[in-house]
């Protein structure tokens, strides 16, 4: 059979793919069936021996995917096919009690909660690794001067470490979102056909609590036939938010690697790597471009996930086919681009000389603000100081001269600012504000949250 989906042959790491494989999905569902049997046994509904037998079947590998598919051809119901396959493998009377009091989505949604828990734990590990890498880079480039840009134009100086420290702060917020949302996202149900727990009788609340405690999940306190899909929406929106941040960081790499900027670039294996099939000199930011493209796919899962919240009455089946795509694809691609972004920034080549060159190429114009502030400290009104520097900047730009030289010639500045004071005000290293301290603060915060040195 030919592979159609790029996840089959190009994207995704095996650990995350394994969480969403068909085999894993079935195993998670059998684990839920086993937890349900144990809950019944704890309340005396069935014997412990029968619960142990169901648990053994669930964990023994005795139930094959092939057999489930054979039964599904007849039943045309995938969950019931699994239940029948489990029943076949149970010895004694234990098979009578598989799926006792449950409806399909008690098992399916609870298994999905287990999948999302495992997947979110992988994402959280990825986020932690990226935070560590970014903090280490910020620390290394704490004092590296770079021009800040607004509207894609030169603004005032920053340090490259300061730029990366902003990424650290953002990723720490994403980490907090994941941790706060996990109990809401990882919720199952064991409440029967429409959520009333009628089939479980007087033991309903205790059975549901026992099953979810056994599995390490929270539970839907007032379910319909399904767990509330607002939980799935929150999960996908968190992933989309993180993906958008990664696209922002990698877009910056792509821009800084532009030939006319040249301030940073992806690692390039000069011994073997090929940038272009025809332009042999090319070193393209291919990984950053890949992250940007896949981030858009992750975001594309948001709309169908929102639409899957809208189910008829106590539920319909319109969400099921959608979620078979959205959940695995979003998590698998999230894992892929988090790891790829970490690789990009771990090996990022920072071209410090080019950063200084770009600052100097402005011929002093990027130091207009510190010059204006120097004038205000001499008693000149802020608006007048702004006009003096604005006028001088326009002359410098129109004539191609250095702003410093234009200011030296201004008669109205004689006795106000000396040449030494002008030179000091135009030293970029003196005008990065608290950039360095901000880096220090964010590195310290990252180390505190992660519990390790970067």
Which candidate in 64, 91, 276, 361 is catalytic? Answer: 276
Beta bridge partners of 150: 153
Helices (H), 216-317: 230-256, 286-300, 302-307
96 vs 83: CA distance, rounded Å: 10
> Is 151 a known active-site residue?
yes
83 vs 30: CA distance, rounded Å: 8
126 vs 363: CA distance, rounded Å: 43
Contact yes or no for 350/318 (Cβ under 8 A): no
> Is 276 a known active-site residue?
yes
94 vs 90: CA distance, rounded Å: 6
CA distances from 244 to 121, 184, 250 (A): 20, 22, 10
214 vs 115: CA distance, rounded Å: 15
CA distances from 403 to 158, 171, 191, 379, 411 (A): 20, 39, 74, 21, 15
Which candidate in 151, 259, 277, 313 is catalytic? Answer: 151
What is the C-alpha R_g of the chain? 30
- Nearest to 291, CA basis, from 329, 330, 326, 334: 334
67 vs 236: CA distance, rounded Å: 33
Contact yes or no for 452/128 (Cβ under 8 A): no
Annotated catalytic sites, by residue? 151, 276
């Amino acid at each position: 059979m030919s592979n159609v989906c790029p996840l089959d042959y190009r994207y995704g790491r095996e650990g995350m793919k394994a969480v969403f494989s068909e085999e894993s999905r079935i195993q998670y569902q059998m684990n839920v069936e086993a937890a349900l049997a144990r809950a019944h046994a704890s309340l005396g509904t069935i014997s412990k021996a029968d619960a142990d037998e169901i648990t053994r079947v669930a964990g023994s590998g005795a139930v094959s995917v092939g057999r489930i598919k054979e039964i599904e051809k007849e039943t045309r119901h995938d969950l019931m096919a699994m239940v029948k396959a489990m029943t076949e493998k149970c010895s004694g009377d234990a098979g009578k009690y598989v799926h006792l009091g449950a409806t399909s989505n008690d098992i399916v949604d609870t298994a999905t909660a287990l999948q999302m828990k495992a997947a979110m734990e992988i994402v959280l590990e990825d986020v932690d690794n990226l935070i560590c890498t970014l903090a280490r880079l910020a620390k290394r480039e704490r004092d590296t001067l770079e021009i800040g840009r607004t509207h894609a134009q030169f603004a005032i100086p920053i340090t490259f470490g300061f730029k990366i420290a902003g990424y650290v702060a953002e990723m720490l917020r994403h980490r907090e979102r994941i941790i706060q949302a996990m109990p809401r996202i990882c919720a199952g149900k064991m409440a029967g056909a429409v959520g009333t727990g009628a089939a479980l009788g007087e033991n309903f609340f205790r059975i549901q609590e026992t099953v979810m405690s056994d599995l390490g999940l929270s539970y839907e306190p007032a379910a319909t036939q399904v767990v509330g899909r607002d939980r799935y929406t929150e999960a996908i929106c968190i992933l989309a938010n993180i993906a958008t941040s990664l696209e922002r960081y990698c877009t910056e790499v792509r821009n800084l690697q532009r030939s006319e900027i040249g301030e940073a670039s992806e690692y390039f294996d000069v011994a073997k790597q090929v940038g272009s099939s025809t332009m042999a000199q090319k070193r393209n930011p291919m990984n950053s471009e890949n992250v940007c493209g896949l981030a858009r796919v992750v975001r594309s899962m948001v709309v169908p996930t929102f639409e899957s919240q809208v189910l008829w009455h106590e539920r319909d089946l319109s969400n099921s086919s959608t979620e078979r795509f959205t959940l695995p694809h979003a998590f698998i691609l999230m894992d892929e681009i988090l790891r790829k972004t970490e690789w990009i920034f771990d090996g990022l080549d920072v071209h410090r000389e080019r950063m200084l060159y770009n600052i100097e190429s402005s011929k002093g114009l990027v130091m207009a603000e510190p010059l204006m502030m120097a004038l205000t400290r001499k008693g000149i009104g802020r608006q007048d100081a702004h006009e003096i520097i604005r006028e001088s900047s326009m002359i410098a730009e129109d004539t191609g001269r250095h702003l410093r030289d234009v200011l030296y010639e201004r008669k109205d500045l004689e006795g106000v600012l000396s040449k030494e004071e002008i030179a000091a005000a135009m030293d970029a290293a003196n005008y990065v504000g608290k950039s360095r301290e901000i880096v220090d603060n964010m590195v310290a915060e990252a180390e505190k949250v992660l519990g390790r040195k970067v």
